Structure 1
Amino acid sequence: MATVKVKFRPSSVITKEGTLYYQITHDRVVRQINTGYKLYPTEWHSFTSQIVVPPNAEESRYHYLLALQNNLKKETARLAEIIVRLNRTDSAYTADRIVELYNLRSDNDSFLLFTRNLIVQLKQIGKIRTAETYTCALNSFIRFQGETDLLWEAVDSNLMIEYEVYLKAEGVCPNTSSYYMRSLRAIYNRAVEKELTIQRYPFKHVYTGIDKTVKRAVPVTVIRQIRNLKLEHNPMLDYARDIFMFSFYTRGMSFVDMAYLKKKDLHNGILSYRRQKTNQQLFIKWEKPMQEIIDKYDTTGTPYLLPIIKDVGKDERRQYKNASHLVNCKLKKIGIQLGLTIPLTTYVARHGWASIAKSKNIPISTISEAMGHDSENTTRIYLASLNTSVIDKANSLIIKSI
């Protein structure tokens, strides 16, 4: 087993600073790594191999010595990480190999740089949604940790517990916190697969599940109210309402799928498309209300069915995301206008369609297929929080009976 010690080499001139170095010993072979750090003999405790900060040190020297302490801690931890990795993957490694790996610094040595490089690679191979997910989680983590990078061994369960506490203090809901944690876990696991670090299970004590979401469905009466609103005086609200209704008419089609619908997808009265999320192909019978919405908008010059992506060839994903933000912002205003108790978004159209389908006693299997879910179990989870009126009624009867 290799060992690492921090050593001090005093200067031949007693009044000058000496240097610190790392001594690597493995199979009776000793190698040294020069740190470049300078100390006076009085600032080094040879028995404990630690830096001593004199109580009367000048402020600049005081901060210098504290910085060296921090650097030694990080660098010895990095050497320990290299040795652990070699013990696991290369039983015939040498002391020279440890030195070589230590000196071979790369962007993969640290968490933030690895994550940023990974995001760039994902974008290059077309995995834009995954890149955006990781970017969102990384930005949240940086708000907690700051821009100071971390060696892989510093990414442990204690750090993630602190991050979870921070998220809770910031008012982040459990599902969003879990979303960030799952993304960071996926990034960490990629580093483990590349053998950049060992698996320490840093996320084992934080929440990575999915809580039951707040009810986001509305009854058919509200859907009818939204459809019948007179919004000609406000074109943007009218446009947002039309997108909402188009989603509802198409069995709760997601905004991203609506954005990328093309005119060629409508053929012989059938709209066919593949879900961006699952790549599952769905077929929808074209109905009159759908056509009425399409007829309201001029999409000449674009291959798209709806006026969401308007400038072909210009960062279409950014256009879709900007449009999504705008539409949901306007829908919330409509919801306030109607006195709804939940924020009105395009996702409410999807929940609403599923809830109304359930209330009409449409089989779960049919709802599942209509919405493009991977399984009926997904649909059951999806519907579980949509309609609790039957349970509420039963509870009311019980209370009245006592």
Structure 2
Amino acid sequence: MATFKALVQKKRSDNTYVVYIRCTHNRSIKYIKTDLYVHERKIKGGEIIDQTILGQCAIKIKGYLDKLNNADNVNRWSVNDIVDFLTTEQTDIPFIPFCKSFIEEMRKENRGRSATNYMCALNSFVRHSGNNVTFQEINSIELTNWIKSLGDMKRAKESYPKYLKTMFDAGCSEYNDYNRNIIRIPSRPFTGVKIPKHDVAPKKAIDASVIKSILEFEAITEQTKKARDIAKLVFYLVGINTVDLFNLKHSNYINGKICYNRSKTKDSRTDKAYIEITVHPDILYLFEIYKGEERLFDFGYCNARSFNKQINIGLKTISDTLGIPQVGTYTFRHSWATIAYIDCGASIDSVALCLNHISAHKVTRLYVKDIFKPIEVLNSEVIDFVFGRKKVGKKKKKVDVKELELVG
């Protein structure tokens, strides 16, 4: 255990000494400077004889010992660790600035979409609790009241608290030293907070006949023509997300295949969510119509968000004209998967591979040479089924809702 003693070192020009507390631990020494001063008249033989100063130092030393007694594995610490531990002020830590820096790091890692979601959650919390809240002030009552204030925003009530908890936990990892039991953020305010579950939205898949009617829609306006064409690209490219379609570069088109990393999951997977989709001959003409210079396609929009929004507006017009429930770009991803599974008899693992999900055979993907070949085969079957080019010789399956929940 560390030992402490009050002493002085060098005399100042005004004949006073700064009082230090010497810390000795494992035969090493380090000095802690105090805010106390003692006159040379109160020093005898190099020792402090001022009882008032010695009393104040005794109080400081008792505080150090009490603090060390509450720490774990102190004997394994160095003397520097001990002094750092004793002199670290337990000040309140601002929560909002930390969260903003956390989100900024996400942007630097090209996780812009996630960063936007986290910022929305933070802004909501700031509106409720203010901009000056600290880590230590956040408690379960405050969090519960904030969640209640979100009202009917069901998706936000589920996701926002999770985003906030992620940032709070990151702060604990940043400021707490669990190895030395230096805990600046001792609370766990999310413990006991009930986060509402968001009901799973009904799946958006539509029948093959409806898919066919949309992809063969006789467009009158430029907007509906473009919406139909993009829907066709999405469907023929195995439900590719519009953000990935928008961002494709010429380098992603290799030997008749679209080779890319799915942006939604590339940062969370060891394989970077890489996939290859063989381009079906039916859509080659669209590659010429929308041929871009900087990107593979030029759809006439400045970013992926506005692109997706405008295409969905065009699809709404098509839906209204055909007298069918409203569809969006994601409908074609769900529909491709459903047709592949139910009408073409594909296994869930095959559908998962085609949708670029992590499957039970993810290790196999490391060494199977032509792992993406089944995608080409199944995609051709789905397209042929939709357009009635040939009947699929497999028994139609009964829908398994739980299995189809993998579509995303």
**TM (normalized to structure 2)?**
0.62
- Tell me which residue corresponds to 1:383: 404
Pairing of 1:253-292 with structure 2 (within 5 A): 253-276=240-263, 277-278=265-266, 279-292=272-285
% same residue = 22
Pairing of 1:368-379 with structure 2 (within 5 A): 368-375=352-359
Q: Select which of 18, 29, 34 maps to 2:60.
A: 29
- Tell me which residue corresponds to 1:19: none
Cα pair 2:319 2:327 within 8 Å, conserved: yes
Deviations 1:99-147 (A, max 9, x none): x453xx8xxx2221111122223323433333223112222323443x4
- Tell me which residue corresponds to 2:314: 330
Q: CA shift at 1:355, angstroms?
A: 1.1
For residue 249 of structure 2, what is the amino acid of its counterpart? Answer: K
Q: 1:214 to 1:275 in 2, by over 3 A?
A: same
- Tell me which residue corresponds to 2:224: 237
Distance in 2 separating the partners of 1:214 and 1:334: 21
Q: 1:237 to 1:125 in 2, by over 3 A?
A: same
Looking at CA atoms only, which structure, 1 or 2, has the larger radius of gyration?
2
- Tell me which residue corresponds to 1:77: none
Give 3-state SS (helix, strand or coil) of 1:373's partner. Answer: coil
Give 3-state SS (helix, strand or coil) of 2:164's partner. Answer: helix
Q: CA shift at 1:229, angstroms?
A: 1.4
Asked if residue 181 in structure 1 is aligned to residue 164 in structure 2, the reply is: no
For residue 305 of structure 1, what is the amino acid of its counterpart? Answer: L
For residue 249 of structure 1, what is the amino acid of its counterpart? Answer: Y
Distance in 2 separating the partners of 1:228 and 1:358: 23
Q: 1:95 to 1:257 in 2, by over 3 A?
A: closer
Q: 1:376 to 1:331 in 2, by over 3 A?
A: farther
Q: 1:245 to 1:177 in 2, by over 3 A?
A: farther
Distance in 1 separating the partners of 2:226 and 2:327: 14
Cα pair 2:290 2:299 within 8 Å, conserved: no
Q: 1:339 to 1:268 in 2, by over 3 A?
A: same
Cα pair 1:262 1:305 within 8 Å, conserved: yes
Q: CA shift at 1:254, angstroms?
A: 1.0
Q: CA shift at 1:183, angstroms?
A: 1.1
Asked if residue 172 in structure 1 is aligned to residue 184 in structure 2, the reply is: no
For residue 350 of structure 1, what is the amino acid of its counterpart? Answer: R
- Which has more helix, going by share of residues? 1
- Tell me which residue corresponds to 1:97: 87
Q: CA shift at 1:226, angstroms?
A: 1.0
Distance in 2 separating the partners of 1:126 and 1:339: 41
Cα pair 1:192 1:199 within 8 Å, conserved: no
- Tell me which residue corresponds to 1:307: 298
Q: Select which of 211, 218, 223 maps to 2:211.
A: 223
Distance in 2 separating the partners of 1:339 and 1:144: 43
For residue 223 of structure 1, what is the amino acid of its counterpart? Answer: I
Q: CA shift at 1:289, angstroms?
A: 2.5
- Tell me which residue corresponds to 2:11: none
Distance in 1 separating the partners of 2:196 and 2:131: 25
Distance in 2 separating the partners of 1:199 and 1:340: 53
Asked if residue 358 in structure 1 is aligned to residue 341 in structure 2, the reply is: yes
Distance in 2 separating the partners of 1:368 and 1:323: 26
For residue 189 of structure 1, what is the amino acid of its counterpart? Answer: D
Uncovered stretches (5+) of structure 2, i.e. residues with no partner: 1-55, 75-81, 177-183, 267-271, 363-399
Deviations 1:339-359 (A, max 9, x none): 333x42211111111111121
Deviates more, 1:331-340 or 1:358-367: 331-340
RMSD: 3.6
Give 3-state SS (helix, strand or coil) of 2:258's partner. Answer: strand
- Tell me which residue corresponds to 1:130: 114
Distance in 1 separating the partners of 2:121 and 2:95: 13
Distance in 1 separating the partners of 2:127 and 2:230: 34
